[in-house]
Structure 1
Amino acid sequence: MSEVAPDRRPPTAFNEDLVLTGPDFAVVLDGASAPPGVDSGCLHDVAWLVKRLAVELAPPLLAQSAEPMTDLLAETIAAVRASHADTCDLSNPDSPSSTVSMIRLHPDRVEHLVLADSPVVMRSPAGQITVHSDDRIAELPDRSREATRRSRNQPGGFWVASTDPKAAYEAVVGSTDRADIDVIAILSDGASRFAERYGHSWEELLDVLTTAGPRRLIDLVREHDAVTTTNRKQYDDASVVLLQGP
């Protein structure tokens, strides 16, 4: 059984996350655009990029391609790059970008790929929780805008899906025996902040998801968002894919 809950950040009228699911796969994309007033060098907004990534990823996933997920993602980024290479400055490090987190189900195993800060969380039948995450952006010694800009898609920095297909091969990837999993959650960081920012455990997060559903988790996140005193982004788009059962 799978459940999906996307939610735009208040008070915006649009959502820069995108969820893509099929019979044996699920993908969460979380778009990131340049700050206001910064020239991205691109005629397109981040919503366009996220949709194009989904459009290119969907056919091979639906066709059950046997290619490694890193190859599928690299080919996807290359195709999106080619689609606007003639109109946009793709050398600009502020070009629109996106996280990519996906799982692919096989009869005996589950593959995962995580590029940037949208984790995949798995729970075993015995209750053991494993968090597959890519927190390189959080580990940057300097999180200023200019330092982050210099570190994007660079060795020693962090990697996102944008204009460089090589980023796909920097993703966190792995495979888990299917018998060792009874719950999978894929979360954009607007939803995973329930554990990563607001002090709840991953056990609590999965308990909310499995007993009350993704919508309830996002409602709880919004309650925290409303009273947070952090100087980081108060609200963010939040998306959750929950898979549980056989």
Structure 2
Amino acid sequence: MEIRFSSQAAPDRVGANEDLVVSGAGFAVVLDGATPMPGVESGCRHSVAWLVGQLGRFLAPGLVTGSEASLAELLAEAIEAVGREHSDTCDLGNPDSPSSTVAIVRVQSEAVEHLVLADSPVVYRAPAGEVTVHSDERLERLPERTVESVRRLRNAPGGFWVASTKPDAAYEAVTGTTDRSEVEAIGVLSDGASRFSEQYGHSWEELMAVLTSEGPSRLIDRVRAYDAAAPTVRWKRYDDATAVLLYELGR
């Protein structure tokens, strides 16, 4: 199996890239930290990049060692462990506490598992070319994205779910298992890369074609060109962008 990835900060980013990739034999994780809205007090002394790094730190061991725990269980344990790291210095009850999306793929001997929490999709291409997108669209369904509505609906029934301070959020993720023989290639993306299809009109088949034939960096290059030329901006012109390709799963 071949695993390739690229993770690039937004061109106008001030500070660290808030995306993170964690990968190893048979798995890949993409974390996309949520940049806070201006003026929002998180109650936390740590940055979004710190949270993302800690989540990656605590997710990795179970994936590396082949834990039999479900992906949701591994994520819940990681969220709980991160909470212990800063519960004595930060207000974990603050609804604006730093948060992150999560996308995980784990390739087993007979099956491929996925977990998607918030807007970082996982895309499968079958040997015959059929493409399947595993996504969590609850964030897109919010009636508005004001500070107040996002605060009220984050990690709440009827709203959307992210990795932050509540371990139970992990069990709200979109999860599933697919027979390994039905998956030829996998893309794991932050929304800064998936906007190639979600905002700029290309099919998911086209996205996977670029990812497999030209590679993750070239996919992000194409997105950046669209970002720069877009006549209108949806939420923000540029975003940190991450693309992971898992290929030749039969090897």
Q: Same fold (TM over 0.5)?
A: yes
- Measured after TM superposition, the shift of residue 231 of structure 1 is 4.2
Residue 97 of structure 2 is aligned with which of 95, 108, 120? 95
In structure 1, what residue type is equivalent to 2:219?
A: L
The sequence identity of aligned pairs, in percent, is 59
Does the CA-based 8 Å contact 1:101-1:113 persist in structure 2?
yes
Two-structure CA RMSD over aligned residues (Å): 0.9
Shift of residue 183, structure 1, vs aligned partner = 0.7
Q: Secondary structure of 1:107's match?
A: coil
The 8 Å contact of residues 33 and 94 in structure 1, kept in 2 or not, is answered as no
AA in 1 matched with 2:212:
T
Task: Give 1:220's aligned residue.
Answer: 222
TM-score computed with the length of structure 1 as normaliser: 0.98
Q: Which runs of 4+ in 1 moved over 6 A?
A: none
1:8 and 2:21 are equivalent in the alignment: no
Between the aligned partners of 2:238 and 2:164, the Cα distance in structure 1 is 23
Q: After superposition, give the CA deviation of every residue in 1:74-117 in whole Å (9 maximum; x if it has no partner).
A: 01100101111111111111110000100111111000000000
2-structure distance, mates of 1:107, 1:90: 39
Counterparts in 2 of 1:231 and 1:242: CA distance versus 1, 3 Å = closer
Structure 2 residue ranges without an equivalent (≥5): none
SS in 2 for 1:160: coil
Bigger shift: residues 227-236 or 209-218: 227-236
Residues matched between the structures, number? 246
Determine if contact 1:34/1:95 at 8 Å carries over to the other structure: no
Q: Tell me, what secondary structure is at the counterpart of 1:215?
A: helix
Q: 2:237 aligns with which of 231, 234, 238?
A: 234
Within the alignment, does 1:122 sit opposite 2:124 as a pair? yes
Aligned to 2:148: 146
For 2:109, the equivalent position in structure 1 comes to 107
TM, length-normalised to structure 2: 0.96
- Unmatched runs of 5 consecutive residues or more in structure 1: none
Alignment partners' CA distance in 2, 1:136 and 1:184 = 22
Contact 1:109 1:178 (8 Å CA) reproduced: yes
One-letter amino acid matched to 2:111: R
Residue aligning to 1:86? 88
- Give me the whole-angstrom Cα distance separating, in 2, the residues matched to 1:219 and 1:233: 17
Amino acid at match of 1:200: H
Q: Secondary structure at the match of 2:148?
A: helix
Q: Deviations over 1:118-143 (max 9, x none)?
A: 00000101111100000101011222
Counterpart residue number, 1:68: 70
Within 1, Cα distance between the matches of 2:42 and 2:35? 8
